[in-house]
Amino acid sequence: MSNLLNARRLSSLYVLCASLWILLSDLWLGRSENTTWQVVQAEMYKGMVFVGLTGLLLYLVLRLHERQQSRQHRALLKGQERLSQAAIVFESTQEGVLVTDPLLRITYINPAVSRITGYTEAEMFGQTPRLLQSGRHDAQFYRSMWCSLAEQQHWSGEIWNRRKDGTLYAQWQCIRAIHDRQGEVSHYVAVFSDLSAIKRSESELLHQSLHDALSGLPNRLLFIDRITHALARSRTDQVSGAVMLLDLDHFQHINDSLGHSVGDQLLQQVAQRLRNTFAENITVARMGGDEFALLCEHCPKAEQAIAIAEQIRKLMAAPFHINGHDYSMSTSIGITLYPGDARTAENLLSNADSALFNAKSKGRATYAFYSQELTERSSRLLELARSLRQSLANNEFRVHYQPIHDMQDGQLVGAEALVRWQHPKRGLVPPGEFIPLAEQSGMIASIDLWVLEQACNQLQAWPGLRYISTNISSRLFCEDDFDIRVARILGRTAVDPRRVELEITESTVMHDPVAAQDMMVRLRALGVQLSIDDFGTGQSSLTRLKHFPVHKLKLDQSFVRGLPHDSADMAIARSIITLGHSMGITVLAEGIEQAAHRDTLRALGCDLGQGYFLGRPQPPEKWTEAPVDMAPRRLSACSGTK
């Protein structure tokens, strides 16, 4: 149209100019007085000028046309190049591009659409986008989308669609209406991206934030959320439940002696047992370290909570198999009931923690319920724990010595060193209160070494005493350099190692018999004597026992208390004494508080004995120079034996 208009204008200009030229030139010639020959010459010149001007004009017109054609050609090539680039972009982009006509029939899709939806190009042509509808959105959602398209000519948002294989997926989609010159909608173009990877990543991040990485169990954050919902349901449905915290007894010894890798494997096996055992209506979580938690949403009675606690104890009692070795564990459990004990998640966990602390204080491997008295006691113990951290530096510990007698002739042969805490405000703190705190805080190893050095120094002041024994905690015994530390103390005090006896509990020895045997061999090489304390309360293996380089077994007081009337205690005491003698090992009975205990054990052939009937623990200043003979005598009864 533009070219035609330009041609008409040029033609009109040419006719006008030519006509003016002829008219003016003829008028000029007609008025001139030249001769005929001159007129002929003028006519010839006029024609030549006309031809020249006409040729020049034609040249300019053709040149102008050529330039215009060149510009149009370059524009066409550039447009084709842009279209080619756009096609490449559409073909290679990871976003799906879908075009429909005004009736929403699909006219174009790029390969990404097929990759995302699973439909081929042929399957989608002529279809409508309803082919991809997931069914997750209601009619109002689509009405809102089309209203936005009508008013704003575009819409964008998250939408769920369905692939060819039936799976649902989320996509972020932008739709725009395309109009022709008349302003009518000619096409709809939808550009969308698959959000499946983002959704999976969000789901994984959410799972990681709410679950423990090692065990896969819910973590503290998710557990508190579950408790909050359970409390809300209990208010509406009048349903009671229980929250339990359980702690693996002496788990730190696993990490200290065997390494964190074995400890992590043990925690994973514990989590797996709990997960496999408790599923419906019970949430199992790992709160951190070796502490796990259970939310029992349908547990209205204490008896039901006890049954679950006993089930947990049996689960933990079964050996754990790790790297070809068996490890036995026990657990302490704190129980609180809701809504009776508390009505918030934080208070419930605090109550369960107080109950757990009480279970540990009672000797571990048991369970305890929450009570207000328990909370007050826990507060006192927490304050005591804070004071304990400075007690060793402040020289607040004292060592008392309990006499050990030969059961046959009554001679005083040794003493057991027992630590006491002289608190600056509370006075003498019972060992039953601060020893568990020292174990939990890790101070027990330092305290044990301090007591050992004090006992060695005391031996130098009591040359007539055959030996002094000291208790060694499992934490200290499991340290790789324990024998080196003992050697340093022996060197500093210059004591005869044969007068030093180290008492190790049966449970510590049997926890890892191979490592225990190796440490015992190194200790015996120093010349010290070794004794197994609380014998008969654990799970001793006689096969292992015969390889341990020990020279003494201590019969636990729990088997002495019922003598001579309890037939079971009689049988156990007789068996242990006989076992020790058959293996050439001395047997010492602790907890002798009555003459009947002494007489019965003497009749059974027990070698040594200690207890309140034979002598109470006393500070060294209340002992005279250690005598060579001290006949048994009855003393006033006191609670405990140490």
Find where tokens 């499946």 sit: 196
Cβ–Cβ under 8 Å, residues 101 and 107: yes
Q: Can you give the pLDDT at residue 524?
A: 94
- 61-75, 132-146, 241-255: range with lowest mean pLDDT: 61-75
Average pLDDT of span 104-108: 90
Contacts of 179 (CB under 8 A, 6+ apart): 185, 186
**Model confidence over 378-412: pLDDT tens digits?**
567 667 777 888 888 888 999 999 999 999 999 99
CB-CB contact of 551 with 586 (8 Å)? yes
Q: Which residue has the higher pLDDT, 367 or 609?
A: 609
Q: Which residue has the higher pLDDT, 81 or 329?
A: 329
| Mean pLDDT lowest among 264-273, 338-347, 463-472, 594-603 | 338-347
Q: pTM here?
A: 0.50
pLDDT > 90: percent of the chain: 32
pLDDT the model gives residue 631:
38
Q: To which H or E segment does residue 401 belong?
A: strand 397-406
| pLDDT for 45 beyond 90 | no
> What's domain 398-417+444-622's superfamily in CATH?
EAL domain (3.20.20.450)
**CA 32 – CA 16 distance, rounded (Å):** 24
Q: What is the pLDDT of residue 33?
A: 56
Cα angle, residue 349 at apex, residues 345 and 355 outer, rounded to 5°:
145
> Residue 152: pLDDT above 60?
yes
| 245 or 626, greater pLDDT | 245
The domain segmentation of the chain, as residue ranges, is 2-30+41-90, 93-200, 211-370, 398-417+444-622
**262 has pLDDT over 90:** no
pLDDT at 310 over 80: yes
| Peptide bond preceding 339 in cis form (omega within 30 of 0) | yes
What is the pLDDT, as a whole number, of residue 634?
34
Q: What pLDDT, in 10s, does the model give residues 470-500?
A: 999 988 998 889 999 999 999 999 999 999 9
What's the topology of domain 211-370? Alpha-Beta Plaits (3.30.70)
Convert the pLDDT of each residue in 357-376 to its tens digit. Answer: 888 877 788 888 887 665 56
Contacts of 172 (CB under 8 A, 6+ apart): 156, 157, 158, 192, 193, 195
C-beta separation of 590 from 556 below 8 A: yes
Question: Could you read off the pLDDT of 552-566 as tens digits, one per residue?
Answer: 999 989 899 999 999
Alpha helices per DSSP H over 32-138: 36-92, 111-117, 121-124
**CATH entry, 93-200, from 3.30.1360.30, 3.40.50.150, 3.40.50.970, 3.30.450.20:** 3.30.450.20
**Which residue has 């709160």 as its token pair?**
287
SS3 125: coil
Q: Is the pLDDT of residue 140 over 80?
A: yes
What integer pLDDT is reported at residue 628 of this predicted model? Answer: 38
Per the prediction, the chain carries an average pLDDT of: 83
Is the pLDDT confidence value at 282 over 50?
Answer: yes
Tell me the pLDDT tens digit for each residue of 7-44: 566 666 666 666 676 666 666 655 555 556 565 566 66
Least confident segment among 227-241, 347-361, 612-626: 612-626
